[in-house]
Amino acid sequence: MAVSLTPYNASHIEYNGNYFNSSLMKEFNYTIYTNGTLSNISRCYLVFDNYHPYFALNGSVFNGTNCDAPINPIATRAILGIVSSVLFAIGIMLGLTLLRKHGATHLPVEKRFRLVSRRWQWYWLICTAVCGMISGFMAIDVDRNYLQSTALIMQSIFFYVMLPAMLASVWEMTRHWGSFLERQQVDADAFCFPQDDKRSKIEFYIPLVFYLFGFLTFFMSLLRNWNPITKAWGTGGAQTATDPRFRAACFFAFFALVIIIISVFVSLHYYTPRRVPMKIPLCILLLTIRICYNAACAWEYDISPLSHLTNPGWIYGLGYLPIFLIMAVMIFYGWREPNEDQEILKQRREREFQLNVEMNASKGEKKERHEGLMKLGRMSDNDRKMV
């Protein structure tokens, strides 16, 4: 809101110890506002305390401090942002380690089970962690800036990118779990699954449906004009944060989550053992929390990360924490689970050992029978042929 200024003399006005030529202010459309800023929409300067900009006759401003200058001390949002960034940075390093572990090959690559299939989970996890780290660091300037600008936009952009990226990571983890069950059964019996049945068609189309909803989530929430969210003094920020695009993105994210659940049931129907690893329901539950928070933000601006006045507990407790916990679950199970090729080799050795045991047992039974018949002197011609 503009302030009413008292003329200092015939040509100048005074505000908080600053003297401005009233004719120059009118010529270049400058206005002083109640928050202590001098602005003509395109440029903005601080005019309180020790901030004393000077106007030249050509409209240039000297000794001016921009309104988005980081002059405030860091607060809770920035501190939690630093902590989350450090945690996500650790997640990046662990994700790279597990990508190397699970992405390594110890067997000839099969066309049916591509090597990149087991890597996508970790690619998306690392992408999510990078977005979380950048978003957390941007929170520092959200606290420090006098008026919001690029920092709030960057934190919000990467905050919203985390959801479709983590959806993709959980999807790839779930899909590869089913793919690995199939691979184990095919390795034991190459003809157990035909290549043109209903199962193969479902597994061909269901990833396309998931990534369609994932892309729509990204498109509706990210590809937009972000500048209005910095205008917290008006209604532009609230209208942008709760517009139909954000609301539609929440529905698309929910549909993508439903596709993940459907994929779990498809794998349970066709493959054995019919037992879901605990990491999958845990990740689905945490994703549900994050999607519900995004949906709440799309209707209630006061808890949205797009507002710099929002209580950080909402943002980090329901926004960042579920994503970090999903990463922690995936990393924990990634450390516990062996490389897929090494597991296949182990199962092959077990089958070979079992086959050898059965063959030795069969030979032993024949030998015992032969010795018994010899002792009784009742060995028939057929028995001799078998021996």
Please give the helix or strand (H or E) that residue 343 lies within, else none. Answer: helix 340-376
Q: Is residue 177 a contact partner of residue 106, using CB atoms and an 8 Å limit?
A: no
- pLDDT-derived band at 252 (thresholds 50, 70, 90) equals very high
Return the SS3 of 330. helix
Please give the pLDDT value at position 360: 76
Percent of the chain clearing pLDDT 70 (strictly above): 89
- pLDDT-derived band at 314 (thresholds 50, 70, 90) equals very high
pLDDT tens track for 98-107:
999 998 888 8
Please give the pLDDT value at position 238: 86
Please give the pLDDT value at position 232: 63
Given a cut of 60, is residue 259 above it in pLDDT?
yes
Listed in sequence order, the residues at least 6 apart from 221 whose beta carbon sits closer than 8 Å to its beta carbon are: 160, 163, 164, 245, 246, 249, 294
DSSP of 89-123, one letter per residue? HHHHHHHHHHHHHHH---SPPPSSS-GGGGTHHHH
CA geometry: angle 251, 244, 163, nearest 5 deg: 45
- The least confident of 21-30, 77-86, 229-238, 291-300 is 229-238
Tokens of 53: 């900009």
- pLDDT-derived band at 158 (thresholds 50, 70, 90) equals very high
Please give the pLDDT value at position 188: 81
- pLDDT-derived band at 7 (thresholds 50, 70, 90) equals low
Q: CB count, 10 Å around CB of 162?
A: 24
Among 350, 323, 386, residue whose Cα is nearest residue 95: 323
Please give the pLDDT value at position 366: 63
- pLDDT-derived band at 186 (thresholds 50, 70, 90) equals confident
Among 310, 328, 308, residue whose Cα is nearest residue 318: 310
Q: Domains of the chain: which residue ranges?
A: 12-62, 76-337, 347-386
Among 177, 151, 113, 143, residue whose Cα is nearest residue 333: 177
| 3-state percent breakdown (helix, strand, coil) of the chain, nearest 5 | 65, 5, 25
Backbone dihedral angles phi then psi of residue 90, each to the nearest 5 degrees:
-65, -40
- pLDDT-derived band at 299 (thresholds 50, 70, 90) equals very high
Mean pLDDT of the chain: 87
Given a cut of 70, is residue 148 above it in pLDDT?
yes
- pLDDT-derived band at 3 (thresholds 50, 70, 90) equals low
Tokens of 40: 């003509």
Amino acid occupying residue 28 = F
Given a cut of 70, is residue 373 above it in pLDDT?
no
Listed in sequence order, the residues at least 6 apart from 94 whose beta carbon sits closer than 8 Å to its beta carbon are: 331
- Mean pLDDT for 109-113 is 77
145 forms beta bridges with 70
Please give the pLDDT value at position 276: 93
CA distance 370 to 387: 7
Taking CA atoms, 95 is separated from 43, 283, 301, in Å, by 44, 16, 34
Taking CA atoms, 78 is separated from 63, 101, 123, 315, in Å, by 28, 35, 28, 12
Half-sphere exposure of 221 (CA within 13 A, CB side): 30
Please give the helix or strand (H or E) that residue 255 lies within, else none. Answer: helix 244-270
CA distance 319 to 325: 11
- pLDDT-derived band at 61 (thresholds 50, 70, 90) equals confident
Tokens of 166: 């983590």
- pLDDT-derived band at 365 (thresholds 50, 70, 90) equals low
Please give the pLDDT value at position 151: 94
Given a cut of 70, is residue 379 above it in pLDDT?
no
14 forms beta bridges with 19
- The topology under which CATH files domain 76-337 is Rhopdopsin 7-helix transmembrane proteins (1.20.1070)
pLDDT tens track for 335-363:
999 999 898 899 888 888 888 877 777 66
Please give the pLDDT value at position 183: 86
Given a cut of 90, is residue 74 above it in pLDDT?
yes
